[in-house]
Amino acid sequence: MTNTFPQALTIAGSDSDGSAGMQADLHTFFARGVYGASVITACVAGNSYGIHASVPMPTDFIDQEFADLAADYHIRAAKTGMLADSELINDVVKNYQQADFGPLVVDPVIMTKHGNQLLEESAFQTLRTQLLPLATVLTPNFFEVEKIAETTIKSDDDMVAAAHRMQQMGAKNIIAKGSHALPDQTMVRDFVLLENGDSFWLSQPYHATDRVNGTGDSLSACITAELAKGTPMRQAITLAKAFVNTAIGQPIEVGHKFGPINHWAAQNRDYDDIR
């Protein structure tokens, strides 16, 4: 039987240190028992200190990557990561609309943990008008919520309002990730707004560690992997939050600064309690 094994796709940039971007996505797909394919959109050279060079892929090459996957594989869910500029966003939108790759998780990668900007400011409007309407799930971090919704978040009410604004822009389900840079923080809280209007806060313990590179990539990749297996939306989101929290909670010693998270710890955990 051909193509019966669950397959997911990451449409993202390669980060040479393996902690984030496409590499974090593929680690996560593997950890959740899903085959991972990748459309590479850009390459960044970096390590746990920062990103030091970045090269976008030519759009005709990206077109060929999509065409080759569509001709052979059965992608059941896809996610986007680094898209660099308007030209790449428009190209990915065009290709995704032609393909039949299932639900789309949009991780609107704008800024890294080191403070490197991976999406040009001039592309924010393209992101809003072209990509958000395709998003089955949108997973902005605190900074990205403020940028996309064009607001300042000072309270829970502000976050709820921003999530509704992003849903009005066309994204169906939203996980607006809360801040984790507050003094004396003990919990991290993300606001979830589902397509049917249900909403809730997801809370997990805060871990005081610098080994947090690729948390957002892994969260969105875990949701993608679960959707590829047919896990219901609410369960996929809740499981992904637990997956990332487990991976942050047992750090591995790789790199000197913002190191990777521990996908093995997250892989080995039992998620049977999550419904």
Ligand X SMILES: Nc1ncnc2c1ncn2[C@@H]1O[C@H](COP(=O)(O)OP(=O)(O)OP(=O)(O)O)[C@@H](O)[C@H]1O
Ligand Y SMILES: Cc1ncc(CO)c(N)n1
Site of interaction with ligand X (CB under 6 A): 20, 112-113, 141, 177, 180, 188, 190, 204, 206-207, 209, 212-217, 219, 241, 244-245, 248
Q: How far is the CB of 54 from ligand Y (least distance, A)?
A: 8
CB nearer ligand X, residue 37 or residue 219:
219
Question: Of 21, 103, 178, 259, which lies in the binding site for ligand Y, with binding defined by CB under 6 A?
Answer: 21
List all residues 6 or more positions away from 8 whose beta carbon is below 8 Å from its beta carbon. 29, 34, 35, 36, 37, 75, 76, 77, 78, 79, 221, 224, 225, 227, 228
Does the footprint of ligand Y cover residue 9 (CB under 6 A)?
no
List all residues 6 or more positions away from 172 whose beta carbon is below 8 Å from its beta carbon. 135, 136, 137, 195
Binding-site partner at residue 207 among ligand X, ligand Y, none, CB < 5 to 8 Å by type = ligand X
For residues 10 and 204, the answer to whether their CB atoms sit within 8 Å is no
Does the footprint of ligand Y cover residue 260 (CB under 6 A)?
no
- Applying CB under 6 A, the span of 15-23, 129-137, 220-228, 233-241 interacting with ligand Y comes to 15-23
- Applying CB under 6 A, the span of 13-21, 70-78, 163-171, 224-232 interacting with ligand Y comes to 13-21
Residue 150: burial class (beta carbons within 10 Å; 0-12, 13-18, 19+): exposed
- Applying CB under 6 A, the span of 14-22, 160-168, 233-241, 262-270 interacting with ligand Y comes to 14-22
CB nearer ligand X, residue 70 or residue 242:
242
Radius of gyration of the chain (CA): 17
Binding-site partner at residue 92 among ligand Y, ligand X, none, CB < 5 to 8 Å by type = none
**Interacting positions 81-140 with ligand Y (CB under 6 A):** 81-82, 109, 112, 118
> One-letter amino acid identity for 135?
A
List all residues 6 or more positions away from 197 whose beta carbon is below 8 Å from its beta carbon. none
Q: How far is the CB of 15 from ligand Y (least distance, A)?
A: 4
Q: What phi and psi values does residue 152 have, to the nearest 5 degrees?
A: -115, 130
Q: How far is the CB of 9 from ligand X (least distance, A)?
A: 18
Q: How far is the CB of 183 from ligand X (least distance, A)?
A: 13
φ/ψ region of 129 (left if φ > 0, alpha if ψ in -120 to 50, else beta) reads: alpha
Which residue of the chain is nearest ligand X when measured via CB? 216
Q: What phi and psi values does residue 221 have, to the nearest 5 degrees?
A: -70, -35
How many residues are present in the chain? 275
Q: How far is the CB of 220 from ligand Y (least distance, A)?
A: 9
CB nearer ligand Y, residue 216 or residue 259:
216
Q: Strands 187-193 and 104-106, how do they pair?
A: unpaired
Q: Which two tokens stand for residue 38?
A: 């990748």
- Applying CB under 6 A, the span of 11-19, 65-73, 98-106, 162-170 interacting with ligand Y comes to 11-19
- Contacting positions for ligand Y (CB under 6 A): 12-15, 20-21, 44, 81-82, 109, 112, 118, 216-217
